């Protein structure tokens, strides 16, 4: 075939078109960022709550497995993160290492046990895994909407995770 001499126009994008697309993408990203950050904070709080529940269940299971009483202590201090540990008076349950509530960023996680935000809270799991006290723990994070609840029920020692909504803990949903 012969070349007709007609030059095809360049089929690329102009600099202006690329700039307009980049500005639109930047605006959409800035609109989505707060929602994304809120979602990340909610998931961090859920992960922290689950780690506390898992730690408590491990302590309870250790008491049942070793057939000894296992006494857990939660230390609450407004200046420091919450600390879960096995009391030294529970010799059969010492294999579990202490848990700093909040993990990598513990300063942002606040723990409240039955309205108490300071001091030390004890919990005793019997050799059968039961406990003699009902406790409700509330975990919240700075700049995060909502909170999580952990309920330890006597006499069976059941541990449940729930969501705080309208100042009431809801344990009906799986979190």
Among 148, 151, 147, 122, smallest CA distance to 135 is for 151
**Alpha carbon 44 to its chain's center:** 4
Tens of pLDDT along the chain (175 residues) come to: 566 666 666 778 889 999 999 999 999 999 999 889 888 888 888 888 999 999 999 989 888 888 888 888 888 876 677 888 888 776 667 777 888 887 666 567 788 887 777 888 888 888 898 998 899 988 888 766 778 999 999 888 899 999 988 888 888 877 6
What integer pLDDT is reported at residue 20 of this predicted model?
95
Residues 6+ apart with CB under 8 A from 50: 161, 175
For residue 45, what pLDDT is reported? 87
The per-residue pLDDT for 46 is 87
Sort residue 126 into left (φ over 0), alpha (ψ -120 to 50) or beta.
Answer: beta
pLDDT at 5: 65
Are the beta carbons of 137 and 113 closer than 8 angstroms?
A: yes
pTM exceeding the 0.75 threshold for the entire prediction: yes
CB 71 within 8 A of CB 89: yes
């Amino acid at each position: 075939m012969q070349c007709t001499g007609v030059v095809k126009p360049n089929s690329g994008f102009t600099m202006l078109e690329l700039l307009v697309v980049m500005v639109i993408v930047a605006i959409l990203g800035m609109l989505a960022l707060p929602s994304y950050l809120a979602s990340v904070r909610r998931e961090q709080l859920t992960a922290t709550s689950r780690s506390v529940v898992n730690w408590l269940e491990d302590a309870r299971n250790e008491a049942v497995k070793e057939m000894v009483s296992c006494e857990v202590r939660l230390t609450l201090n407004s200046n420091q993160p919450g600390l879960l540990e096995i009391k030294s008076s529970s010799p059969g349950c010492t294999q579990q290492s202490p848990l700093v509530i909040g993990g990598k960023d513990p300063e942002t996680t606040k723990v409240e046990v039955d309205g108490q935000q300071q001091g030390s809270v004890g919990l005793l799991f019997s050799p059968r895994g039961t406990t003699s006290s009902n406790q409700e723990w509330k975990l919240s994070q700075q700049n995060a909407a909502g909170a999580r609840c952990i309920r330890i029920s006597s006499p069976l020692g059941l541990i449940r995770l729930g969501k705080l909504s309208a100042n009431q803990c809801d344990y009906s949903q799986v979190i």
